[in-house]
Amino acid sequence: MDLVEVSRTKTFGGFQRVYSHVSKVLGCSMRFGVYSPPQIENKKLPVIYWLSGLTCTEANFIEKSGIQRYAAEHGVIIVNPDTSPRNVNIPGDRENWDFGEGAGFYVDAETEPWKNNYNMYSYVTKELIEIVNTNFSVLEGCQSIMGHSMGGHGALICALKNPGLYKSVSAFAPICNPINCPWGKKAFLGYLGPQETSNWTDWDATELVKNYNGPPIVLLIDQGTEDKFYKECQLLPENLIEKCKIWKMPVILNRRDGYDHSYFYIASFIEEHIKHHMQYLH
């Protein structure tokens, strides 16, 4: 797989790079970020994948989260892909901020015209991992995943649908129960088709916990109390917590008093998430 280095910036002793490549799964050129901490000069390192939210590209997390400092301190590679295919010229894919470009929802689409390109789930869990394992000095099989909002939804379903693939999972303000919120209903109807004829529950973390059968994993959820999308019932973490209790799935919900949905909130607690993941990656 040919990678093209788009940019390189030295920070905290390591390098923040952005690469582009032609994705076979998505049928287009894709970008992803890789932060390589200084320890990579001497040994192979574990990886944490980050999935961003609605409207984001690979740049938002790189520029706003402050992740590089903590990745350098703990010796972990950070990989963050874009949030959807780009420039595939599907009619209507740029008309809405919450559907189409920038809003891939980390599912594999089943309907026309989306199914040929909008397969972010397979991209994240298969193609991207293969690219990273082949091209970077990583400890294969030593990886975790986290994300924000739509990307938090993505992180949770990637972990729950692939027992053992990730050592740990965490999410900032995730869309926990998409089949019951406006964002999720819109995206699933478009990408998957009517709920009566497609398996929406296969892409919903709240529904997936009851069928999880794999190595023990803790779902770490972070939620700001002043998050407007939480107040608008787009995120529904309580639904996930309730199902986790029923099905004996370990879960932690950290309520952050006064925090919103922004990257200011993410930057405030990203170190805690890195420390959580490193417990399992070591």
Residues tagged active-site = 149, 227, 261
What torsion, rounded to 10 degrees, do the Cα atoms 203, 30, 146, 129 define? 90
Token pair for residue 40? 């990579």
Instruction: State whether the Cα torsion 133-8-156-223 is positive or negative.
Output: positive
84 three-class SS:
coil
CB 241 within 8 A of CB 251: yes
d(CA 152, CA 145): 9
Q: Is the peptide bond before 174 cis (omega within 30 degrees of 0)?
A: no
Q: Are residues 102 and 31 in contact, defined by beta-carbon separation less than 8 angstroms?
A: no
- Residue 98 exposed, middle or buried by CB count within 10 Å (0-12, 13-18, 19+): middle
Residues pairing with 36 in the sheet: 15
